[in-house]
Amino acid sequence: MPAININFIGPWRVLLGARTVTVKVESIDEARNYVETNFGPVFEKKIKSMGVGKKQSIWDNSNILLNGKNIKLHEQITFKDGDKLDLLPKVAGG
């Protein structure tokens, strides 16, 4: 099973209290499950303290890059040791 680095970028670092975790996962679904299981409760608590009432997901509120490329642009995702999965908060401007 490959060991990948999951990096929390920008405000996620402060909000979740983590910068990088190394995990052994086979698939993108396993990576998502790891993030939501291990950091979801902290995320929920912080979001609720900011007055957001509805349930939120870290994964769904992130742009996700695999080795610098948006995962939506990958036809197939297979991990190898040392891959970097970056989670960046989605933002909007105007």
Please count the structural domains in the chain: 1
pLDDT value for 65: 97
pLDDT value for 52: 67
H or E stretch covering 39 = helix 28-49
pLDDT value for 43: 87
Alpha-carbon distance of 45 to 23, in angstroms, equals 23
- Whether residue 4 contacts residue 83, with contact meaning beta carbons closer than 8 Å, is answered with yes
pLDDT value for 93: 59
Q: Is residue 94 part of a domain?
A: no
- Whether residue 86 contacts residue 7, with contact meaning beta carbons closer than 8 Å, is answered with yes
Alpha-carbon distance of 26 to 80, in angstroms, equals 9
Alpha-carbon distance of 59 to 94, in angstroms, equals 24
In this structure, what CATH number is given to the domain that contains residue 52? 3.10.20.30
Q: Give the chain's residues under pLDDT 50.
A: none
